[in-house]
Structures are given as structure tokens and as C-alpha cells.
Amino acid sequence: MLITEGELLMCSNIPLINIEIILALLFFLWLLVRLLNAAIGSKERVRIQKLGSKVKEKTRKLKEAQAQLIQSEKLSSIGQLATGVAHEINNPMGFINSNLLTLAGYVRDLREILTEYEQLEKDCQGTTNKRLKFRCAQIKKVKERIDLRYIMNDLEKVIDESSQGALRVIKIVKGLKNFSHIDEGKPEYVDLNEDLEDTLNIIWNELKYKAEVIKEYGNLPRIKCYRIQLNQVFMNLLLNAAQAIEKEGRIRIKTYTNNSNVYVCISDNGCGIPPENLPKLFDPFFTTKEVGKGTGLGLSMAYGIVERHEGRIHVESEIGKGSTFTIELPLGRMGKGNTLG
């Protein structure tokens, strides 16, 4: 049987068409596999990135917790030592203060009797008794030599200044005992204004040569909190404020309240914080201080303590004008994850 030319062409075209379809299908499958791999790779990369971020965050928190634990142990040891020292100082200071008050009473009695002697001396001026005149003359010479009037006036000032110094030491010791009181894990009701005063007494030597401290204390309700921890926050912020001042400046402490929160603002007119450092300010180990002068844990710990009280800490700063740290603490419920009280 003869095959025409048209039939031959039709037969030859069938395999060519099938090959093109197969090639097209293969290309499509190859492209689909590439796309699927790319999609899977993209998801995998996202998953790995998320996992890496979680690991990084966990590592950061672990380092922070470890640093805070070390610092807490140091504070606990220092607190125990300071409490013992404060107790040992407090006892003799009680004797000194009591004796100075007694001495002031003796001086008043002596002044009274000396006044009577001076009157007797005047009465004896017209006497003819040679022995009495001689004794009066001798008394007058001694009075002039020792400057009795100056001694009596100055003695009262000396006792008064000593009493003030003794009361100052007692006040510092009281602040030290309150500040270093061992935190037993239980919150207590405190007056934040009093705690700020205790903290100032402890670190006054670091502030008095650098800054004038201006206090604007509001009428605050007593709040339930972890006292020693908040004192640590106040101390860190006040010391940082002093260190930000090069020579002489001002540190302002302001407290106030509204219906739901209490606020503690600590401001300085020091060098200020560069804008690029503000986002990292509360990161553990971040510091701009010289080596050996800062661990980079102070503000990180402050942030953690305030956060534990379900509060917030804000910072505003401008280069060359100073910084303001504002602590916001809720009235009522405090303590992350539990109710204080």
C-alpha cells in the first residue's frame, strides 16, 4: 500500500509535537521544583532568623540575670556588713549625743553661778579688806587672761555644733540601716520621700562637691514596694546625675502623684546623653564610662527593678543641657506576676 506525502507528513509531526509537550512539562516541573525550593528556603531562613533572635534574646536575658544575681549577692553582703557597722556606730553615738545634752545643761548652770560671782566681785570693789581685794584682783586677772566671757559664749556654740554633728551622724546611720536593710522578699509600705532622703544621706559626699540638690517633694501616699531595691534605683540615678556634671551644677529631685501613679523625677544640668545612645541605655553592660569606672549594670538593674514593680522608667536628654529620668510606679497593685500584699 502506497503512503501519500500528506500522510507521511502527518505521521512525522506526531512525535515532534509529543517531544515539545514533554519538554514543556519537564521545564514546568523543573521551574516548579525551583520555586518550591525557594519558598521552602525562604521559610527556613525566616525560621532560622526567628530562632537566632530568640537565642540572642535568651542569651541577653541570661547574662542580665547572671549579672543581677552577682550584684544582688554583693549588695546582700555589703548590706549585712553595713548593718553591723551602723549598729556599732549607733550605740556610742547615742552616748555622745546624750552626754552633749547633759553638758549643755551643766554649762547653763555654770553660767548662772558665774553671773553670781561677777555680782559678788562688783560688791567687793569698795571693801577695805586687803585679803578680799587681793583675791578679787587675782580673779579679774585670770578672767582677762583666759577671756572668760569669750569662753562661755563659745562653749555653748561648740556644744551646739557638736550636738548637730552627732545628730547628723545618727541620721546617716539611720539612713544606712534603712538603705542596707536586707530584703527578705516581702514588700513593705514606705514613704518614697523619706527613702530619697536616706539615699541622699548615704551618698552626700559624692554630691556635695559637684551639685546643688534641689528638692521638690510632693505629698505622697505610702506605697507598698521592695524598699531596698528602689533605694538602689535612686542611688544609681543620683550618682549618674552627679557624674554627668563636670564641675558645679544642679540636681533636682521632684516627687508627685495622681490618682493612679506616683512619680519620682531626677534631673541634672550635666553633659546630656547622645541620641544614638538612648536606645541602648538600659542594655546590660552598656556604658560610656572609662574602663574601671562603670560596669554598665546600674541602669539595667534600675530598669529591671522598676519593671518588677510594674512601673516604667523614662529618660529625656539633650546634649549640653542635661537629662531627666522619670520613675512611674502604680498605686495599688505592684510586683510583676503577683500582687504586693
Spatial separation of the C-alpha atoms in residues 289 and 286, rounded to whole Å: 9
C-alpha cell of residue 297: 549594670
* Residue 242 falls inside a structural domain: yes
Q: What phi and psi, each to the nearest 5 degrees, are found at residue 328?
A: -115, 115
Q: What is the pLDDT of residues 37-78, one digit of tens each?
A: 666 666 566 666 676 677 677 766 666 665 555 555 555 555
Asked whether 202 and 179 are in contact (CB, 8 A), the reply is: yes
Whether residue 131 is found in the same domain as residue 199: no
Domain limits for position 300: 184-341
Which of 49, 40, 68 shows the shortest CA–CA distance to 307? 68
C-alpha cell of residue 15: 512525535
* Residue 156 falls inside a structural domain: yes
Q: What phi and psi, each to the nearest 5 degrees, are found at residue 330?
A: -75, 145
Whether residue 168 is found in the same domain as residue 242: no
Q: Which residue has the higher pLDDT, 56 or 308?
A: 308
Using CA atoms, how far residue 152 sits from 78, 98, 127, in Å, is: 45, 21, 28
Whether residue 164 is found in the same domain as residue 285: no
Whether residue 170 is found in the same domain as residue 293: no
Last residue of a domain, one of 182, 207, 229: 182
pLDDT band at 335 (very low <50, low <70, confident <90, very high): very low
Lowest-pLDDT range, 21-35, 89-103, 262-276, 327-341? 327-341
Using CA atoms, how far residue 151 sits from 148, 168, 339, in Å, is: 5, 25, 62
Whether residue 213 is found in the same domain as residue 159: no
What does 161-183 look like in DSSP terms, one character per residue? HHHHHHHHHHHHHHHHHHHT---
Last residue of a domain, one of 182, 198, 228: 182
**Domain holding 309: CATH number?**
3.30.565.10
pTM here is 0.56
**Half-sphere exposure (Cβ direction) of 54: Cα atoms closer than 13 Å:** 6
**What pLDDT does 338 receive?**
40
C-alpha cell of residue 70: 552577682
Element (H, E) at 197: helix 192-207
Spatial separation of the C-alpha atoms in residues 199 and 180, rounded to whole Å: 10
**What pLDDT does 227 receive?**
84
Q: What is the pLDDT of residues 139-185, one digit of tens each?
A: 888 888 888 888 888 888 888 888 888 887 877 777 766 666 555 55
Helices 227-243, 192-207: axis angle to 10 degrees equals: 40
- The total number of structural domains in the chain stands at 2
Whether residue 321 is found in the same domain as residue 225: yes
Q: What is the pLDDT of residues 8-26, one digit of tens each?
A: 444 444 454 566 677 677 7
Spatial separation of the C-alpha atoms in residues 76 and 18, rounded to whole Å: 85
Asked whether 255 and 192 are in contact (CB, 8 A), the reply is: yes
The residues facing 257 across adjacent strands are 262
Whether residue 231 is found in the same domain as residue 85: no
Give the angle 219-222-228 at the CA atoms, nearest 5°. 115
Whether residue 85 is found in the same domain as residue 174: yes
Instruction: Report the chain's terminal Cα–Cα distance, integer Å.
Output: 108
Whether residue 192 is found in the same domain as residue 207: yes
Last residue of a domain, one of 182, 200, 224: 182
